[in-house]
Amino acid sequence: MKLTVTLLATLLAISAAQPQKPIPKQKPIPKQATATCGAFPSFMTANRIVGGQAAESSIPWQVSVRQCQSGGCHFCGGTILDATTVMCAAHCFTEGQSMSGHYITAGVVNRNSNDGQTIEIANGVWNAEMPYQGNNNDFVILKLSSALTFNENVYPACLPDADHEPSASGQTCFVSGWGTLNSGANSSPTMLQWVAVPTVTNAKCNEQYNGGITSSMICAGSADGGIDSCQGDSGGPFICSQGADNTAVLTGVVSFGIGCGLSTHSGVYARTTAVLDWVKANMGGTVGPPPATTEGPTQAPPPSDCVDSWIEDGFCDDENNNAACQFDGGDCCPPFAKQNWDWYCNECACVIGDATTCEIGVPNWVGDAFCDDENNNALCGFDGGDCCNNSANNWDWYCNDCQCLFDTTAGSNGKGKGSRNGKGNGKGKGKGSRKGKGKGSRKGQ
């Protein structure tokens, strides 16, 4: 059976100094709140279910996990647990891999902003007693090479009590990240998105996933669909409130799901309480060991002036056809969304990325001989050619569409003739408002 699975995540946070009053938007979070764990930002309210929207300010516990220091290298989310500890999803990495050249960035809304704190990851901690297998126990702890500085934009989420069970009451919780806005999209939003989504009991979720839900998972989704996490949100926080003081706690980690925002399938998160003792045992202490000196840090791509409104608009734009601008959202490569796709370009070359630029898929799966729909785009180098002329056994086990969109072995650069017609900034093209959060396809490792 072929399943396209999409990633979800969770983390938690925070207690307010005066819980009986909302934190004013204009004032910084009180110092006593940041000494332990944070409070909900004032704009995150659960009095209504929303399809997703851009964050008004930093979500303090949210981090971007990236393969270089640039926002264009984002591939997963994460949650701050303390000054040197971040929770992420195991599927975002290969167990035991070197973290040299991998970073987290905290305290930003725009993932390309230089205003946040960017710190290299020293090492990963995997759970030997409850290892990640298939979709189960999707956790990895990231230890940082130096400590974060807590302020009103950066502070940790709280951990839940051992008996924390928000799905018993159908509590509405929160997911956030820079993941794609719908399943299969070729580009990720620049601005941090968040969504409020109701929890679902494991019994109901188990029916949706044919018995594939374990006690190490928790689910959330709407019967009407339209609200979820999506590709690129993996490893990020699933935050619920706890107690009379409305403390924000890391209930789960964005892990997997079928599609994004489907009414038939809830999003699935790794349940924090399942590994609570392990998490506490690996928090605090000294900063992790320095990264290996044999590999230098990945350099950020050169700055580029992107015209965001032209990315993934169906027209190839030479000025956006680079890694920093997400290769124009795949507009210069087949399948072409519009007949006149080459009206606004001169070179019109199908320039493609590889695992190092695969910010909306799963980098470790590029070129692994299995076709992965979420990697079958220009940013991920069309999965390294895994979906074309593949003679490997079971090459289509992990894809639904399994289409050969662009044969990277054929030697074609996909050039079109295009005459330069000039394009104004005001194209009037609106993107959908539905924001899914960080999922990706799930593959057993």
Show which residues are catalytic: 91, 138, 234
DSSP code of 191?
Answer: B
Please state, in angstroms and rounded to a whole number, the distance separating the CA atoms of residues 397 and 420.
Answer: 43
The residues near 352 (Cβ < 8 Å, ≥ 6 apart) are 327, 333, 378, 379, 381, 382, 406, 408
User: Residue 237 and residue 76: Cα distance in Å, rounded?
Assistant: 11
Residue 268's region, left for phi above 0, alpha for psi from -120 to 50, else beta, is beta
Phi, psi (5° rounding) for residue 349?
Answer: -85, 140
Sort strands 117-125 and 140-144 into parallel, antiparallel or unpaired: antiparallel
Q: Is 166 helix (H, G, I), strand (E, B) or coil?
A: helix
DSSP string, 360-379: SS-GGGTTSSS--GGG-STT
Q: Which residues of 366-384 are buried (b: 16+ CB within 10 A; e: fewer)?
A: bbbebbbbbbbbbbbbbbb
SS3 144: strand
What's the one-letter identity of residue 365? W
Three-state DSSP class for residue 226: coil
Would you put residue 384 in left (φ > 0), alpha (ψ -120 to 50) or beta?
Answer: left
